[in-house]
Amino acid sequence: MTTRTAMSKVASVRGRAPKRLTARRLLITISVLLTLLFIVAAFSLAIGSERIELRTVADVIASKLTGRMSGASPEHAMIIASIRLPRVLMAITVGAALAVAGAAYQALLRNPLADPGILGVSSGAALGAITATIFSDALPVSRPVAAFVGAAVTIAIVYMLGQHRQGGGAERLILAGVIINALLSSIVIFLVTTAGARQRSVLSWLIGDMSGETRLLPVVALFVLTGIAAIYLNARGLNLMMTGEDDALVLGVETQRVKLIVYLAASLLTGAAVAVSGAIGFVGLIIPHAVRLAGGSDNRLVIPASAVAGATFLMLADTLARTVIAPRELNIGVVTALVGAPVFIYLLRRTS
């Protein structure tokens, strides 16, 4: 049972299309999604390119939690604790970040088809990462840090370009983002194709890589949680802004402040995600959409549900990516599209 069909079941249990979001419906939906998350997490830890018994997996996890020694062989323990577990945690963090960023952008830009990369943040991060590999001899900066710096600079530039005299229109921001995105993407492509072997290895990372170093993961996770919280605090304001900025203003929303906070938070979420795992597509576009189809457009549901659903989805996709043609791995960006597209088409047809 996938995340999306579970949510449709929740909706249909009430017998009719829900008129509005209540605290109870929110709680039920999130609980169901969280349960699914844990199931998929357990599943992801249990399988991989190396066959390890379920008992051993449980043993290693338990020993990690309680601190006592595990009976597993050092290789198995290492695989589960140092390879699979960090990867699962990374998928959860990145999946949640991308899905919430997508949901936030879609509400902010009043466009259900906005994707976290639309405002150029992913390209900025990619450019940062590539620049770091070119100058790695002169100035050794870790890839995630360089990528994040690239993202941050892009965020600032796009925001400044997108400002309008009378506040800021969503259209102008989109335009600024699309232009900067195109510019940065072409620079990235130029660097990758004209440069040597070192840059070629970045190419595989660019389209998504979940196997990276996870030393920074705790910091990134904290970052992601903060970003999601900042957006969630403005969920109500976003609901109103989705119908029009002027309307929201008169209804009492501090639109300039909400815009700035949500833009910054969503862009930083995207930057952080791309910095650790490359530009994984599809998650930010499709997960919020699917959540809306199944549960309605109220952001007080869409934001947290997207976070959990995005985490689950990316975990699932990553598990598939690293087991289907083991010991080879499929690229995660390819898998998210191949897995996501049919599921989404199914959902679309069911609810229309």
Partner 1 sequence: MLEVRDVHFSYAKPVLKGASVEVARGELLAVLGPNGSGKSTLIKIIVGILTPERGSVFIEGRRLASMTRRHSAQLIGYVAQESAIRFPLTVMEFVLQGRFAQNRLIGFESERDVQEAERAMELTETIELAARPVTELSGGERQRVMLARALAVRPAILVLDEPVANLDIAHQVKMFEVVKRLTVDEGTIGIVVTHELNLAAEFATSVLLMKSGEVEASGSPREVMTERLLRAVFDTDLMVDVNPASGSPRITLIASRASHSSGSV
Partner 2 sequence: MSEGRQFKSHRRSVGCHRLASLMLALACALVACSPNRSMRESSRTIVDELGRTITIPEHAGRIVSLAPSITETLFALGVGDRVAGVTSYCDYPPEATLKEKVGDTLKPNIERIVGIKADLVIVSTSSQLEQYIQNLEGLGIPVYISNPRNLEQVLQSITSMGRLVGAEDRARELVSDMRARIDRVASSLASAERPRVLFLLGTEPLITVGGGTFMDDLITRAGGRSISTEAGGEYPQYSMETAVAKQPEVIFVQFDEKQLPERLKQTPAGRANRVYHLDDDLVSRPGPRIVNGLEQMASKINPEVSWK
The residues of the shown chain that bind partner 1, judged by CB under 8 A, are 16-23, 107, 110-112, 166, 233, 236-237, 239-240, 242-244, 246-247, 249-254, 292, 296-298, 300
Secondary structure (3-state) at 164: strand
Residue placing its CB nearer to partner 1 in the complex, 253 or 309? 253
Residue placing its CB nearer to partner 1 in the complex, 82 or 351? 351
Q: For 311, which DSSP code?
A: H
Instruction: Report the distance separating Cα 328 and Cα 84, nearest Å.
Output: 15
Q: Does 161 bind partner 2 (CB under 8 A)?
A: no
**What does residue 331 show for φ and ψ, rounded to 5 degrees?**
-75, 135
The token pair at 251 is: 């209804």
17 binds, among partner 1, partner 2, none (CB under 5 to 8 A by kind): partner 1
Helix (H) or strand (E) holding 133, with range, is helix 121-134
Residue pair 278/206 in contact by the 8 Å Cβ criterion: yes
C-alpha torsion angle, residues 248, 157, 142, 285 (rounded to 10): 40
Residue placing its CB nearer to partner 2 in the complex, 132 or 287? 132
Residue pair 23/297 in contact by the 8 Å Cβ criterion: no
116 binds, among partner 1, partner 2, none (CB under 5 to 8 A by kind): none
Q: Does 78 bind partner 2 (CB under 8 A)?
A: yes
Q: Does 79 bind partner 2 (CB under 8 A)?
A: yes
Q: Does 256 bind partner 2 (CB under 8 A)?
A: no
CB of 177 to partner 1, least distance (A): 18
Residue whose entry in the numeric block shows the structure tokens 């976070």: 307
Residue placing its CB nearer to partner 1 in the complex, 127 or 240? 240
Q: 235, 234, 114: which is closest to 175 by C-alpha?
A: 114
Task: Specify the stretch interacting with partner 2 by CB under 8 A; choose among 8-16, 206-214, 294-302, 339-347.
Answer: 206-214
209 binds, among partner 1, partner 2, none (CB under 5 to 8 A by kind): partner 2
Measured between alpha carbons, how far is residue 261 from residues 155, 229, 345 in Å?
A: 12, 11, 33
Question: Which residue from 62, 156, 222, 326 is in contact with partner 2, where contact means CB under 8 A?
Answer: 326
Residue placing its CB nearer to partner 1 in the complex, 6 or 233? 233
94 binds, among partner 2, partner 1, none (CB under 5 to 8 A by kind): none
Instruction: Name the CA radius of gyration of the chain, rounded.
Output: 21
Residue placing its CB nearer to partner 2 in the complex, 139 or 156? 139
Residue pair 293/351 in contact by the 8 Å Cβ criterion: yes
Question: Which residue from 59, 115, 209, 298 is in contact with partner 2, where contact means CB under 8 A?
Answer: 209
Q: Is 164 exposed, middle or buried (0-12, 13-18, 19+ CB in 10 A)?
A: exposed
Instruction: Report the distance separating Cα 95 and Cα 311, nearest Å.
Output: 4
**What does residue 68 show for φ and ψ, rounded to 5 degrees?**
-85, 170
Question: Which residue from 116, 162, 212, 237 is in contact with partner 2, where contact means CB under 8 A?
Answer: 212
Print the binding letters for residues 39-58 with partner 2: x by CB under 8 A, - otherwise: ---------xxx--------
Secondary structure (3-state) at 167: strand
- Tally the C-alpha atoms within 13 A of residue 139's C-alpha that lie toward its C-beta: 10
Question: Which residue from 105, 148, 159, 205 is in contact with partner 2, where contact means CB under 8 A?
Answer: 205
Residue placing its CB nearer to partner 2 in the complex, 328 or 349? 328
Footprint of partner 2 (CB under 8 A): 48-50, 75, 78-79, 82-84, 136, 143, 193, 197-198, 200-201, 204-205, 209, 211-213, 215, 322, 325-331
